[in-house]
């Protein structure tokens, strides 16, 4: 019998993303069927946006509406309960910190699922520490104690460090899944992730250098357009 450790898949998420909520429901079964160990990686989406010079969907009004409609359609097709949290965007720091292994421990998966479902299926206010305490308490954990731990400077540092490490790995959006250093961004990538794990990746027989462009021929002035 082999003593080799199972392949691991890092799942980077922030509670601001409804697509991360969908992935939370669909990804565990895929990992089980593929014999892959799922590792939950909470990161601060705002820090990713700042680093890469992007705006989030909620910061572009037409895109925000389009995204919400897309989520309603996706949820209907997959039989997933869906509604927006009470406020969006919200401050996700407490929710992210309570989801760290340094705080949630062996109950990390339970904590993550309970928060996502409370917000994106039940409409809870995920920016409220009081509401988060109730959400975590509803699944049999000591919500008060876990929320209290999020104020620890070492916990705050852990979230910053994890976000910085994600950026170093090329994470630019959420949800992101990384396995074998291969990055898959977005819940719509799950079918491709499944094929990759099964050894049927369409990229396996493609010489990327032969089909990529040779480089840029034009530059847009400024990474973000600013109103005059």
Per-block average pLDDT, block size 10, for the chain (228 residues)? Answer: 74 98 97 97 98 94 95 97 96 98 97 98 97 96 97 98 98 97 96 95 83 81 53
Q: Are the beta carbons of 44 and 159 closer than 8 angstroms?
A: yes
Q: How many domains does the chain divide into?
A: 1
Token duo for residue 219: 């530059």
Asked if residue 88 is part of any domain, the answer here is: yes
Give the per-residue pLDDT at 4: 62
Q: Give the CATH number of the domain where residue 112 resides.
A: 3.40.30.10
Asked if residue 214 is part of any domain, the answer here is: no
Beta bridge partners of 12: 41, 176
- Answer whether 0.85 is exceeded by the pTM: yes
Asked if residue 221 is part of any domain, the answer here is: no
Q: Where are the alpha helices (DSSP H) in the chain?
A: 18-34, 45-52, 61-78, 93-98, 101-104, 108-120, 129-137, 143-149, 153-168, 190-197, 208-211
Asked if residue 220 is part of any domain, the answer here is: no
Asked if residue 1 is part of any domain, the answer here is: no
Domain span holding position 195 = 8-201
Task: Tell me how far apart the alpha carbons of residues 199 and 196 are, in angstroms, rounded to a whole number.
Answer: 5
Asked if residue 40 is part of any domain, the answer here is: yes
Asked if residue 116 is part of any domain, the answer here is: yes
Dihedral sign computed on CA atoms, order 191, 195, 201, 202:
negative
Asked if residue 207 is part of any domain, the answer here is: no
């Amino acid at each position: 019998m082999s003593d080799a450790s199972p392949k691991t898949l890092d799942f980077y998420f922030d509670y601001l993303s409804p697509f991360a909520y969908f992935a939370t429901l669909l990804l565990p079964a895929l990992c089980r069927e593929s014999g892959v160990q799922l590792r939950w990686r909470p990161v601060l989406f705002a820090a990713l946006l700042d680093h890469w010079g992007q705006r989030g969907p909620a910061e572009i009004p037409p895109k925000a509406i389009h995204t919400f409609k897309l989520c309603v359609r996706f949820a209907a097709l997959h039989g997933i309960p869906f509604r927006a949290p009470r406020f969006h965007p919200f401050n996700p720091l407490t929710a992210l910190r309570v989801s760290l292994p340094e705080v949630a421990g062996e109950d990390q998966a339970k904590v993550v699922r309970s928060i996502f479902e409370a917000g994106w299926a039940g409409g809870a206010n995920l920016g409220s520490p009081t509401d988060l305490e109730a959400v975590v308490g509803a699944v049999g954990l000591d919500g008060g104690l876990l929320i209290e731990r999020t104020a620890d400077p070492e916990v705050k540092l852990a979230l910053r460090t994890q976000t910085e490490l994600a950026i170093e790995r090329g994470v630019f959006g959420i949800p992101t899944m990384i396995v074998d250093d291969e990055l898959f961004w977005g819940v719509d990538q799950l079918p491709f992730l499944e094929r990759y794990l099964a050894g049927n990746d369409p990229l396996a027989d493609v010489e990327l250098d032969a089909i990529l462009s040779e480089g840029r021929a034009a530059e847009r002035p400024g990474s973000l357009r600013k109103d005059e």
